[in-house]
Amino acid sequence: MLTADITISTQFHRGPVDRRLFGSFVEHMGRCVYTGIYEPGHPGADPYGFRTDVADLVRELGTTLVRYPGGNFVSGYRWEDGVGPVADRPRTIDLAWRGIEPNEVGTDEFLGWARRGGLIPMMAVNLGTRGVQDAANLVEYCNVEGGTRWSDLRRSYGTPEPHRVPLWCLGNEMDGPWQTGHTSATEYGRLAREAGKAMKMIDPEIEVVVCGSSHRHMPTFGYWEADVLEQAYDVADYVSLHAYYLNDGERAGYLGSGAALDGFIRDVVATADAVGARLGRSKKINLSCDEWNVWTRDPVVDISARELDVAVPITEHVYTPLDAVVVGDLLVALLNNADRVKIGCLSLLVNVSAPILTEAGGAARRQTIFYPTALAARLAHGLSLRTVVSCPEVATVRHGDVPAVAVAATYDEETEELAVFVTNRSNEPAEVRLAQAGPGRLAVLDGWTLTAAGSGEPGAFTAHAADDAGATILRLAPESWTALRMERKDTV
């Protein structure tokens, strides 16, 4: 059994956890939209054609924000094809996933669904095959009250009030050769600057996200962020990072994915801050981790062999308990960087590498990765606490040596409760001594644990006690993730 020490103080923190960290992502990809969130013929469809069983699970998941409509899809998308009377909309070929897009769901339908679900919309504009004017037009369509060409068009289509979309992605993964309209960092940075400038002229209240690297191992990583921000620093509010972690058979490396994400985040922060210092700017660029998840098999898909049809299934991963532990650990990394990571999107929401799976005409069900996401969204409120961890390391081929135990903690000043999330990345059980800095101790009110060897659903966590020095002893199963609701006790 390995041993570890964790020290927590509510006096040392990074600032508040942004609720937008618990977001997700809806793309016109596979069955995410059609037979995912939207299925007019389903027995549980609402008057707008959206599945109420899925909407119920989205609420249970704790989703706060949803990014739309892509993803790779957006780089070939004409948003005008998805507004107006549905019967008049064209059927188009999606260049990203080689499918037929019927355009039954578009801007107004998605934003109406988001509003009814209490979700913050995060819209992406096409900077792959389109440009500045089209992006500005979409902001006008969505956010201007009326009295202009595009806002009056929205009103004529039955949406008199503006959608007031607060957050916009300036393209998607423009560093990737797979992207329609792929370009260089300098060219993209200039385009993003001019698009963002025009969009903010339409609505000065919006925030924009410029594209960072598609993943940490892109050959242009670092150079891309620096060049883009050199061009677009003054208009940008966030830079994106996308992080998918593949279970390629090296179990220790897969379990160390949270440590890799933590390093990825720190590298992007360092790069952005270096550009800000070079430009002499006091503004800090924060991060939008607007695609993150785990993959259960090789994500490379030969789309050239796909049939041209609507909602052809793609990457409908069936997740295991091990995947749930890794997702929990990735959430630990996001919470531990809450001072700079303000937005997070688990990718995707339904059917495509998703926490929710649906059957066309049938049931919707939770996947294993649903549970850590829902627990973190429910428990992690208030301030992101700085923690001190002393523990052995685990050797991995993929990431080098990583800490065997990882922890994130939050403190809600209103309820005076803490949420503590602990991952045991090792294949040994762990005894963890959890103490608060200063007098008194931390007491467990409720606890849940997920293990790679378990059923996939969280079980009650009961193995805790106080030692003579006032610390709480946690006994963690091998390859596990544990969520605790705790309170401070002044005395032992």
- Residues acting as catalytic residues: 173, 291
Report CA-CA distances (Å) from 246 to 101, 259, 402, 456: 29, 14, 17, 19
- The Cα 346–Cα 356 span in angstroms is 11
- The Cα 476–Cα 449 span in angstroms is 9
Is residue 73 within 8 A of residue 28, CB to CB? The reply is yes
For the chain, the three-class secondary structure string (H helix, E strand, C coil) is CEEEEEEEEEEEEEEECCHHHHEEECCCCCCCCECCCECCCCCCECCCCEEHHHHHHHHHHCCCEEEECCCHHHHHCCHHHHCCCHHHCCCEEECCCCEEECCCCCHHHHHHHHHHCCCEEEEEECCCCCCHHHHHHHHHHHHCCCCCHHHHHHHHCCCCCCCCCCEEEECCCCCCCCCCCCCCHHHHHHHHHHHHHHHHHHCCCCEEEECCCCCCCCCCCCHHHHHHHHHHCCCCCEEEEEEEEECCCCHHHHHCHHHHHHHHHHHHHHHHHHHHHHHCCCCCCEEEEEEEEEECCCCCCCHHHCCCCCCCCCCCCCCCHHHHHHHHHHHHHHHCCCCCEEEEEEECCECCCCCEEECCCCCEEECCCHHHHHHHHHHCCCEEEEEEEECCEEEECCCEEEECEEEEEEEECCCCEEEEEEEECCCCCEEEEEEECCCCEEEEEEEEEEECCCCCCCEECCCEEECCCCCEEEEECCCEEEEEEEEEECCC
